[in-house]
């Protein structure tokens, strides 16, 4: 592997990490920002700290799945480069359109695309089970969010209207944002570094890649994440403090659960499912149907387009390097 190709692969991985930050990190704090609890830049600092912790402590399982669970042999450097570039491209487009899409869907589709293009052995059972989790995760978070929101409101209604319950709830919202950020690092960082770690020749130490990837998430969120944060926090459904707590806790739990199983799932689907659960409690008319339709279309288009483009890009890169 040439030095230029090695540098290109690492930069492509950091590009995916920046896209995770720009599109997915907002899902951890968008509810808090939307509820007016914290400023965006304060939330990004929280995301950076806890995403690094989640990635270092529990990020290995998903990275292994992305690297060797879809294509069952180590990716060639050219395949890894094509998958990372395409995996990040569609998330970049969605971010500038302020649409929360799935980095997991994008990178899984891209890895599958290069696998088919290179006639590599594929674990289609694993791939289909990952796709099935993309349906299951938002359903799970919607149910949990509905129940948690209902329970929180019931408890608050029984308490005297003093500042005490609000202060406690404020801290719970912040803790839930930290938990969601930890789960983001545990689940989604593997999308950026999985294809690199799976290479036969290690470019960098995996822990160094983990730290660099987590930092790229923070930078992507800081410079490009505000638009998606506003979509999550305000455009789908207006949020109060109980809603922010229920949404962030439910989404964080869903991400954490699948992380422990080594399954890359969508942070965006997790939080949107949680917001939908709150909307179901309040009444479906409180949910923006046009925004939800736009989000769902993005979920369908992202893995499909990423897979097709990565297929074509890998064919071009392989032909140029032959």
Residue-range definition of the domain harbouring residue 128: 3-321
Predicted local confidence at residue 255, as pLDDT: 92
Predicted local confidence at residue 150, as pLDDT: 93
User: How crowded is residue 3: how many other Cβ atoms within 10 Å of its Cβ?
Assistant: 8
Residues in Cβ contact with 10 at an 8 Å cutoff, skipping those fewer than 6 apart: 196, 203, 204, 209, 212
Predicted local confidence at residue 55, as pLDDT: 82
* DSSP letter assigned to residue 24: I
Predicted local confidence at residue 159, as pLDDT: 73
Predicted local confidence at residue 295, as pLDDT: 67
Q: Which two tokens stand for residue 78?
A: 């050219």
Q: How many domains does the chain have?
A: 1
Predicted local confidence at residue 234, as pLDDT: 57
Mind listing the pLDDT tens digit of every residue in the chain (322 residues)? 677 888 888 889 888 888 888 777 767 776 677 667 777 778 777 887 888 888 888 888 888 888 888 998 888 888 888 999 888 887 788 777 776 667 888 899 999 999 999 899 999 999 999 988 988 999 999 999 999 999 998 888 777 666 667 788 888 888 988 998 899 888 888 888 888 887 866 677 777 888 888 788 878 877 776 666 666 555 566 677 888 889 889 999 999 999 999 999 888 788 888 988 988 888 766 666 666 676 677 777 788 888 998 999 898 888 887 6
Q: Which two tokens stand for residue 285?
A: 């008319």
For 207-241, b where at least 16 C-beta lie within 10 A, e where not — what string? eebbebbbbbbbbbbbebbbbbbbbbbbbbbebbb
SS3 label, residue 122: strand
What single string gives the DSSP state of each residue in 62-110? HHHIIIIISBSSPPPHHHHHHHHHHHHHHHHHHHHTT----HHHHHHHH
Model pLDDT for residues 199-211, shown as the tens digit of each residue? 866 677 777 888 8
Residue 190 near residue 59 (C-beta atoms within 8 A): yes
Residue with token string 């455009």: 235
C-alpha to C-alpha distance for 136 and 141, rounded to whole angstroms: 9
Residue 30 near residue 176 (C-beta atoms within 8 A): no
CA torsion sign for 268, 89, 15, 135 is positive
C-alpha to C-alpha distance for 73 and 277, rounded to whole angstroms: 40
């Amino acid at each position: 592997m040439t030095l230029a190709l090695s540098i290109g692969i690492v930069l492509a991985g950091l590009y995916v990490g920046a896209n995770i930050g720009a599109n997915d990190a907002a899902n951890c704090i968008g509810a808090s920002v939307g509820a007016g609890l914290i400023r965006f830049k304060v939330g990004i600092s929280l995301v950076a700290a806890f995403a690094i912790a989640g990635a270092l402590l529990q990020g290995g399982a998903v990275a292994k799945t992305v690297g060797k669970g879809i294509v069952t042999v180590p990716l060639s450097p050219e395949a890894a480069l094509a998958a990372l570039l395409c995996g990040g491209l569609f998330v970049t487009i969605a971010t500038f359109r302020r649409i929360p899409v799935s980095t997991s869907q994008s990178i899984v589709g891209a890895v599958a695309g290069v696998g088919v293009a290179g006639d590599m052995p594929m674990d289609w059972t694993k791939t289909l089970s990952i796709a099935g989790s993309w349906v299951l995760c938002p359903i799970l978070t919607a149910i949990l969010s509905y129940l948690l929101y209902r329970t929180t409101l019931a408890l608050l209604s029984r308490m005297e209207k003093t500042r005490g319950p609000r202060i406690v709830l404020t801290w719970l919202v912040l803790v839930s944002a930290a938990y969601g950020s930890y789960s983001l690092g545990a689940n989604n960082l593997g999308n950026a570094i999985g294809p690199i770690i799976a290479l036969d020749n290690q470019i960098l130490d995996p822990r160094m890649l983990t730290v660099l990837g987590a930092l790229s998430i923070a930078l992507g969120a800081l410079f490009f994440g505000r638009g998606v944060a506003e979509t999550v926090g305000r455009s789908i459904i207006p949020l109060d403090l109980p809603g922010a707590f229920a949404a962030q806790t439910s989404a964080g739990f869903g991400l954490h659960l699948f992380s422990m199983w080594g399954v890359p799932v969508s942070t965006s689907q997790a939080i949107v499912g949680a917001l939908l659960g709150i909307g179901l409690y309040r009444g479906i008319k409180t949910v923006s149907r046009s925004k939800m339709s736009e989000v769902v279309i993005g979920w369908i288009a992202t893995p499909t387009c990423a897979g097709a483009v990565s297929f074509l890009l890998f064919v071009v890169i392989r032909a140029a390097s032959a």
